[in-house]
Amino acid sequence: MVVDPRDLLLSSYDYELDDHFIAQEPIEPRHEARMMVVSENKYGVVDALHLKIWDLLNELKSGDLIVMNDTRVLKARLKVRLKTGSLAELFLLEPIGDGQWLCLAKPAKKLKPGDFLSIEAINQESLLVQVLARDPQTGGRIVQFPSFFNDREKMENLLEKYGEMPLPPYVKGFDLANEERYQTRFASRPGAVAAPTAGLHFSDEFLDALSIHGIKQARITLHVGLGTFRPLEEENLKNLQLHSEWVEVKKEVVSAIEECRARGGRVIAIGTTTVRSLEASFLAGNNCLKPFKGEVNLVIKPGYRFGVVDGLLTNFHLPKSSLLLLVSALVGRSKLMHFYKEAMEIGYRFFSYGDAMFISPEGVLPSSRF
């Protein structure tokens, strides 16, 4: 596939967005959010329709399969007190083993290897942890917690007592009600430090309606971490690398996709994390989807050919993000940036609590298919 050289420049994915477009709170009910549908019109031209999430029921067909990310967001933000008495913050990313965790630190320069930190929370006894080392790849810190807290499930118990929900920095003000709304209704496996935001649009009523309409459901797990939300910095995207994230695609998901293909259905990913999980599993199986569990750092950008995913529901993403690259690989960069401009012109809400874009199978670039 021939790739436009501009598609491999970070500046090509920049756009200006006034703050009033950034959603500060979610829509209720969830399925009332707006949805831009990118599809082929009656003239054979890929164009946009403006609907709502509930209308996705009419865009999908009986026999289609939607695949969702069932990760659950941890209360990964911790307040810590230094030996000087000043306060700092740890942001947990991932376990390393034996109670050691990779964390981002703020302000990082104050947290030096060897320092002891006291984790504090209202109505809780303080908990002592130690900074072991600086992580050169992320600039974060390796922090020693009690050895019992050696995986995400066990750490969730501690974070429920001491942690805070890691709402994105562009969401101003903290509302306890937003803690529940920053989880999908099908979140079941603790481990993410940011929500798989496309799934936030699905209410219980909408999930039931999908089943009634004959639209099947399957769930993968990708624990959203630094690979998804860290800003890109290098202008040349040719050799872009992302931080790894933990993924599991179970054999039940593989079987569901095989059955979907057999009946002529289409595989629709809910969110970019689902796309990365399925496509990484496909590549790990030598261009054949097989069960997979482990770390994934797959970069999807224009020129990538999709082996599993036929369509995508996703939010409107930050400028210069890896998520924009992924969506551009499906629909085309110049076309996508045109749709983003159109979304701003008619008042769509952007980012985590914002509205959605559905790239239908008819809206996907033919050249992007495997």
**Which among 174, 210, 154, 194 has a CA at the least distance from the CA of 322?**
194
Question: Is residue 107 a contact partner of residue 80, using CB atoms and an 8 Å limit?
Answer: no
Whole-angstrom Cα distance, residue 138 to residue 153?
Answer: 23
Find the Cα–Cα–Cα–Cα dihedral 155, 270, 295, 183, rounded to 10°: -10
Q: Assign domain 77-162 to a CATH class.
A: mainly beta
Indicate the pLDDT class of residue 230, thresholds 50, 70 and 90: confident
**Per-residue pLDDT at 174 exceeds 80:** no
Mean pLDDT of 132-139: 95
Whole-angstrom Cα distance, residue 255 to residue 249?
Answer: 11
Mean pLDDT of 192-198: 96
In this structure, the number of other CB atoms found within 10 A of the CB of residue 327 comes to 26
pLDDT at 44: 83
The residue whose two tokens read 């001491």 is 162
In Å, what is the CA distance from 100 to each residue of 107, 126, 129, 315? 20, 18, 10, 33
Question: Is residue 63 a contact partner of residue 214, using CB atoms and an 8 Å limit?
Answer: yes
Q: In the chain, what are the domain boundaries? A: 5-73+179-368, 77-162
Question: Is residue 287 a contact partner of residue 351, using CB atoms and an 8 Å limit?
Answer: no
Lookup: tokens for 194: 């940011």
CATH number of the 5-73+179-368 domain: 3.40.1780.10
Q: What percent of the chain has pLDDT over 70?
A: 98
Alpha carbons within 13 A on the beta-carbon side of 60: 32
Indicate the pLDDT class of residue 227, thresholds 50, 70 and 90: confident
Residue 264 Rama label (left phi>0; alpha psi -120 to 50; beta): left
**Which among 216, 328, 320 has a CA at the least distance from the CA of 270?**
216
Q: Which residues in 251-326 belong to E strands, given as ranges? A: 267-270, 292-296, 311-315
Mean pLDDT of 140-158: 95
CB contact set of 139 (below 8 Å; sequence gap of 6+) = 104, 108
Q: Average model confidence (pLDDT) for the chain?
A: 95
Q: Tell me, yes or no, if the two domains 5-73+179-368 and 77-162 fold the same way.
A: no
pLDDT at 179: 77
The residue whose two tokens read 């595989």 is 267
Tens-place pLDDT, residues 306-359: 999 999 999 999 999 999 999 999 999 999 999 999 999 999 999 999 999 999
- Single pTM value for the model: 0.96
Indicate the pLDDT class of residue 285, thresholds 50, 70 and 90: very high
The residue whose two tokens read 């992302």 is 242
Whole-angstrom Cα distance, residue 364 to residue 305?
Answer: 11
Residue 352 Rama label (left phi>0; alpha psi -120 to 50; beta): alpha
Dihedral (CA of 280, 236, 136, 106) sign: negative
Mean pLDDT of 189-195: 96
pLDDT at 176: 62
Dihedral (CA of 144, 147, 148, 151) sign: positive
Whole-angstrom Cα distance, residue 309 to residue 206?
Answer: 22
**Per-residue pLDDT at 175 exceeds 70:** no
Tens-place pLDDT, residues 6-60: 999 999 999 999 999 999 999 999 999 999 999 988 788 899 999 999 999 999 9
